[in-house]
């Protein structure tokens, strides 16, 4: 299922990328200025649709890279990062 870019809004503030629509927060990612991922979360109803990748792409646009992934990482999160070839 392709994500319609007009179906969500991306907000970026001091070390946080947030994706939301008119009803809810879809997901967010907290990151450092060096591109380390401190925390990433996607709402259960929106998982496996590409929103996690959108969050990481925004971090990469801002910092120029994806750095280390900070612990703790859930089993699903580990699977997500492994699928992207990260960590």
pLDDT mean values, one per 10 residues, the chain (87 residues): 84 96 96 96 95 96 96 89 88
Predicted pLDDT of residue 30: 97
Return the CATH superfamily for domain 5-83. Answer: Gcn5-related N-acetyltransferase (GNAT) (3.40.630.30)
- Parse the chain into domains and list their residue ranges: 5-83
Predicted pLDDT of residue 1: 60
CB 73 within 8 A of CB 48: no
Predicted pLDDT of residue 6: 85
Percentage of the chain beyond pLDDT 90 is 82
* H or E segment to which residue 62 belongs: helix 51-63
pTM assigned to the model: 0.92
- Alpha-carbon distance of 7 to 15, in angstroms, equals 23
- Alpha-carbon distance of 79 to 27, in angstroms, equals 17
């Amino acid at each position: 299922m392709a994500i319609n870019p007009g179906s969500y809004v991306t907000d970026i503030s001091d070390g946080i990328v947030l994706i939301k629509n008119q009803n809810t927060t879809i997901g967010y990612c907290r990151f450092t200025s060096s591109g380390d991922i401190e925390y990433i979360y996607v709402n259960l109803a929106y998982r496996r649709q590409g929103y996690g990748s959108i969050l990481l792409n925004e971090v990469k646009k801002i910092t120029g890279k994806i750095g280390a992934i900070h612990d703790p990482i859930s089993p699903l999160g580990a699977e997500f990062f492994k699928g992207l070839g990260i960590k």
